[in-house]
Chain A
């Protein structure tokens, strides 16, 4: 309780500072954006985040300023940038791009409020005390990255019933990757599929991993969620197309650019919610008492063009489920 009060006071102090500066009109509060994903790849979600601030009445350049740092998938750079934002004493940090960004920001500061976005399991990853009451200087939006893996596998197998062996590809630097892979393996066993687990550490390893999976008899690919993989999405999609592998992705941003199908919440909406949360914190609310938001709506996006290229026909059950069909 005492800690929460102290944090509440910190929040209030942050507000007072922001309000004071805002009143002068000279220096509006500063939002530090820490992104694991490159600016080019992450542009649409970041735009959505800006909309979140606009929803709360902030006008960029006048009542709010952004300092944006993109690590382009490099964890070391990410940490350095988090430290830099902490040194600059920005008013709030938006940690965009999974647990890795959130953890880097938290390592850099225990004082500046942090709003994370697109984190898989914030409680399991140790970012917050609970979903309803985060309790620290952190809150944000979770997007059920790993919780939906089983469902993705199921949908993939339903779309590609011939594939008895499925390769799951994860980023080797992801925290808790082993547990995630074990969970997917159990799910595969449940529906009678063989799972190959592949990890990739660098973008130039992607091609090799795909070749290895195909060599091992994989008939379909499940790409696990990670901001780094999101950053390499063009390469991954290109490799899947090259090997004519049906593939399931986490987010519609993959299906949009040629991925066969994706199932998950709207990343853009999650970013927008994160923007609103950061704005509320600037207005004086404490991250300790802002519950972690989770998406309630998941979209199944299927790309018929890709399916046609693969010679694949989606069964009616997939088409009945699909929220969006790209033709």
Chain B
């Protein structure tokens, strides 16, 4: 287990959809979406309002322009009425001529005046360019102007372009009194140019007038009128008139080719339409400004929301990251790590739980390390027992009645001298594997092994539940059996190895000895020495026990006294018993 605190590989890869980003998106959306909706609705209603205002303004302008042009004709008509005030009386011709000349003098737009009597005969005419006529009866009964003036108060003729350039029209009207006759006037429409040019709409807007046919009659730029209107231009104007009926405003191109917002009004009397047009840029400037304002507010709001969301998301995910890192470090074995979260919420509680878990884990690891150490000389079951019992006390030094059992291989020194190292190690591996399993099975304590010899303790540190002597015999027999099975193979290989066991019963001092984690549990006393000597004296497959042990065995074991034998290292001979290696 690593303890350097490096997080595991799994912790290093980034999450596919990190919490921080989710928090950020959610928080940002919570502010920005309502803001955007608000901005959009404000923009829309602002646009609607401004557009309505524009429609209204252009509508008013167009009606005012129509009124002014209407007044122009009313002025012309008012002057012409003087000419048909009195009934025709023959000697009056000169007086009438003077009246007509005065009208001509006072009304610059009128280029010619023709006076027609009730029969439809022209009696006199005055003109600015043509000859005047007087006393020359010209029959005008078929003239549309004469017919028109008889059927309606004022007849306005179609617009004619002289030399395909200058717009003129005929205005005709009759007198109120019987016999007053009719007056026909040729009106030079160039005189309304100045009138139309004077109509200003906003800063750069203006007015233009088209007749029923779609021909341009008046425009601020007179040359556009004088140039004449081609068929396409007439069609465009007719379409524009169609589009602007009912006071609507449309975005279009004016005769000069500029993009404008236009509204139209009909001119009373003549079948003309006056358009007022304002350049799009100027007309929509308030709308554009409002949209900009709203847009900037939305952008600024979104920016602020992003900052706020970023900050909040960081604050919210910060503790989670601390938790994640803490979990990584604790998981990596750094049990002394503590997660410091002081948010006062569930996350802090979670962090505290993590910290508590780290404490538990530290304890648990300590315990398992202790068990692992115990397992070096205790069987797993005993080790667990010792651990559960609260450890150290059981391993402390004490006097106990124990069975000490030694076992080793016969002829191992010679074998080890001649055999190859790998052969030796293979033999030993098989040997300990077999014996270890048996020791564990019998819950004995392996106190020591070196080369081919090993020392096993019974009844310590944990007392055996049954008779330790009987258990020692069963253990010894199993060992002999196991090594005998190995020995068959060894003999075949010509290793020439035998196996002997010696065991003794008696009081010994048992306890843990050693230093700095290298501890052994061992038994000290004559019984250990005796067992070792008995082992040394045992033949191949022989189990030698001392008298104390033999006495504790039942007769069924069949321990046979070998008489007193002098044993190396002992001052006096001792009685030795052989236990049959198979029951």
B227 interface contact, C-beta 8 A: yes
Asked if B227 contacts A147 (CB within 8 A), the reply is: no
User: Given the complex of chains A and B, what is the CA–CA distance between A323 and B188 in angstroms?
Assistant: 18
Asked if B98 contacts A132 (CB within 8 A), the reply is: no
With contacts A144-B129, A147-B129 taken as known, whether A320 is within 8 angstroms of B98 at the C-beta atoms is: yes
Q: Which one of B101, B166, B191 lies within 8 Å of A317 (CB-CB)?
A: B101
With contacts A291-B227, A321-B101 taken as known, whether A296 is within 8 angstroms of B131 at the C-beta atoms is: no
A199 interface contact, C-beta 8 A: no
Write the A16-30 contact mask toward B (1 if CB under 8 angstroms, else 0).
000000000000000
Residue of B nearest to A187 (CB): B131
Provide the residues of chain B in CB contact with A150, threshold 8 Å: 130-131
Residue of B nearest to A323 (CB): B105
Asked if B101 contacts A130 (CB within 8 A), the reply is: no
User: Given the complex of chains A and B, what is the CA–CA distance between A323 and B106 in angstroms?
Assistant: 9
User: Given the complex of chains A and B, what is the CA–CA distance between A17 and B370 in angstroms?
Assistant: 102
With contacts A131-B163, A147-B129, A154-B132 taken as known, whether A321 is within 8 angstroms of B223 at the C-beta atoms is: no
Provide the residues of chain A in CB contact with B127, threshold 8 Å: 151
8 A Cβ contacts from B184-208 to A: 188, 190-191
User: Given the complex of chains A and B, what is the CA–CA distance between A296 and B163 in angstroms?
Assistant: 14
Q: Which one of A191, A293, A316 lies within 8 Å of B98 (CB-CB)?
A: A316
Write the B94-128 contact mask toward A (1 if CB under 8 angstroms, else 0).
00011001101100100000000000000000011
With contacts A131-B164, A132-B165, A148-B129 taken as known, whether A317 is within 8 angstroms of B226 at the C-beta atoms is: no
User: Given the complex of chains A and B, what is the CA–CA distance between A148 and B127 in angstroms?
Assistant: 11
Asked if B227 contacts A317 (CB within 8 A), the reply is: no
User: Given the complex of chains A and B, what is the CA–CA distance between A147 and B128 in angstroms?
Assistant: 11
B331 interface contact, C-beta 8 A: no
A180 interface contact, C-beta 8 A: no
Provide the residues of chain B in CB contact with A317, threshold 8 Å: 97-98, 101
Asked if A151 contacts B165 (CB within 8 A), the reply is: no
Provide the residues of chain A in CB contact with B226, threshold 8 Å: 131-132, 291-293
Distance (Å) between the CB of A183 and the closest chain B CB? Answer: 13
Asked if B163 contacts A321 (CB within 8 A), the reply is: no
Asked if A294 contacts B166 (CB within 8 A), the reply is: yes
With contacts A131-B163, A132-B163, A317-B97 taken as known, whether A296 is within 8 angstroms of B102 at the C-beta atoms is: no
Asked if B105 contacts A321 (CB within 8 A), the reply is: yes
B228 interface contact, C-beta 8 A: yes
Q: Which one of A190, A294, A316, A321 lies within 8 Å of B104 (CB-CB)?
A: A321
Asked if A296 contacts B191 (CB within 8 A), the reply is: yes
User: Given the complex of chains A and B, what is the CA–CA distance between A150 and B129 in angstroms?
Assistant: 8
Write the B206-223 contact mask toward A (1 if CB under 8 angstroms, else 0).
000000000000000011
User: Given the complex of chains A and B, what is the CA–CA distance between A114 and B166 in angstroms?
Assistant: 22
Provide the residues of chain B in CB contact with A290, threshold 8 Å: 223
Provide the residues of chain A in CB contact with B166, threshold 8 Å: 131, 294, 296
User: Given the complex of chains A and B, what is the CA–CA distance between A132 and B105 in angstroms?
Assistant: 28
Q: Count how many chain B residues have C-beta atoms less than 8 Å from C-beta atoms of the other chain.
A: 26
8 A Cβ contacts from B130-178 to A: 130-132, 161, 163-166
Distance (Å) between the CB of B207 and the closest chain A CB? Answer: 19
User: Given the complex of chains A and B, what is the CA–CA distance between A290 and B223 in angstroms?
Assistant: 6
Q: Which one of B97, B101, B131, B165 lies within 8 Å of A291 (CB-CB)?
A: B165
* Interface hub of B101, B161, B223, B228 (most chain A Cβ within 10 A): B223
Provide the residues of chain A in CB contact with B108, threshold 8 Å: 296-297
User: Given the complex of chains A and B, what is the CA–CA distance between A289 and B227 in angstroms?
Assistant: 7
Distance (Å) between the CB of A249 and the closest chain B CB? Answer: 17
With contacts A132-B227, A289-B227, A291-B227 taken as known, whether A320 is within 8 angstroms of B101 at the C-beta atoms is: yes
Distance (Å) between the CB of B42 and the closest chain A CB? Answer: 42
Provide the residues of chain B in CB contact with A130, threshold 8 Å: 163-165
User: Given the complex of chains A and B, what is the CA–CA distance between A187 and B130 in angstroms?
Assistant: 10
With contacts A317-B97, A320-B98, A320-B105 taken as known, whether A132 is within 8 angstroms of B164 at the C-beta atoms is: yes
Residue of B nearest to A158 (CB): B132
Residue of B nearest to A280 (CB): B223
Q: Which one of A132, A151, A292, A321 lies within 8 Å of B228 (CB-CB)?
A: A132
Distance (Å) between the CB of A156 and the closest chain B CB? Answer: 13
Distance (Å) between the CB of B85 and the closest chain A CB? Answer: 17
8 A Cβ contacts from A281-327 to B: 289-294, 296-298, 316-317, 320-323
8 A Cβ contacts from A170-198 to B: 187, 190-191
Apart from A151-B129, A291-B165: 17 A-B pairs, beta carbons within 8 A: A131-B166, A132-B163, A132-B164, A132-B228, A147-B129, A151-B127, A187-B131, A291-B226, A294-B166, A296-B188, A296-B191, A298-B128, A317-B97, A317-B98, A320-B105, A321-B104, A321-B105
Interface of B with A (CB < 8 Å)? Answer: 97-98, 101-102, 104-105, 108, 127-132, 161, 163-166, 188, 190-191, 222-223, 226-228
18 A-B Cβ contacts within 8 A? A131-B165, A131-B166, A132-B164, A147-B129, A150-B131, A151-B127, A191-B131, A289-B223, A289-B227, A290-B223, A291-B226, A292-B165, A293-B222, A294-B163, A294-B165, A317-B101, A320-B98, A321-B105
Interface of A with B (CB < 8 Å)? Answer: 123, 130-133, 144, 147-148, 150-151, 154, 187, 190-191, 289-294, 296-298, 316-317, 320-323
Q: Which 3 A-B pairs have the closest CB atoms?
A: A291-B226, A132-B165, A320-B101
